[in-house]
């Protein structure tokens, strides 16, 4: 099973925690870090009970700092992933829209132009051979 904050597998059972509202799984530290600033589940957005929050919230300054650092790491991770997704999407979009010629002339028009030129050449050849 995976953590719904970092999307990594939860390897140690002791690290696992369930959202009481949606039953989604999280790393205990990752859910605790998320809950430093808000009162709701990151997945279902339901408000969590005060007892549940109390269980996860830091009891010491050192613990609070540790969770804050985890939160920053997760923020960086999600930003990096968002940037990665954005650049991937841009790449995909460019690939679809990518013009076949750098100045944006579609291949169809070039092909028609080529056909027209060939037709004119053939006509000229016919005229010169016939007359």
- Binding of residue 15 to Zn ion (CB under 5 A): no
Nearer to Zn ion, 23 or 129 (CB): 23
Q: How far is the CB of 63 from Zn ion (least distance, A)?
A: 17
> If binding is defined by CB under 5 A, does position 19 make contact with Zn ion?
yes
Residue of 9, 67, 78, 3 whose CA lies nearest to 38: 67
Q: Is 6 in the site for Zn ion (CB under 5 A)?
A: yes
Asked if 22 interacts with Zn ion (CB under 5 A), we say: yes
For residue 9, count other CB atoms closer than 10 A to its CB.
10
Q: Which of 15, 16, 36, 44 binds Zn ion (CB under 5 A)?
A: 44
At 44, list the tokens: 């279902």
Q: Which helix (H) or strand (E) holds 94?
A: helix 61-97
Neighbours of 67 (CB within 10 A): 20
**What is the dihedral angle through the alpha carbons of 35, 37, 38, 42, rounded to the nearest 10 degrees?**
-50
Establish if 31 lies at the interface with Zn ion (CB under 5 A).
no
Residue 40 or 64: the one with the smaller Cβ distance to Zn ion is 40
Q: Which residues bind Zn ion (CB under 5 A)?
A: 3, 5-6, 19, 21-22, 27, 30, 41, 43-44
């Amino acid at each position: 099973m995976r953590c719904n904050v970092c999307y990594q597998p939860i390897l140690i059972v002791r690290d696992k925690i369930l959202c009481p509202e949606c039953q989604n799984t999280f790393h205990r530290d990752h859910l605790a870090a998320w809950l430093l600033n808000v009162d709701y589940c990151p997945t279902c957005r339901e408000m969590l009970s005060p007892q549940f929050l109390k269980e996860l919230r830091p009891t010491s300054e050192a613990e609070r700092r540790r969770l804050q650092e985890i939160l920053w790491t997760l923020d960086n991770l999600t930003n990096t992933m968002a940037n990665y997704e954005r650049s991937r999407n841009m790449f995909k979009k460019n690939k679809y829209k990518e013009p076949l010629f750098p100045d944006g002339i579609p291949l169809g028009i070039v092909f028609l132009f080529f056909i027209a030129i060939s037709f004119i050449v053939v006509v000229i050849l016919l005229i010169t051979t016939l007359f």
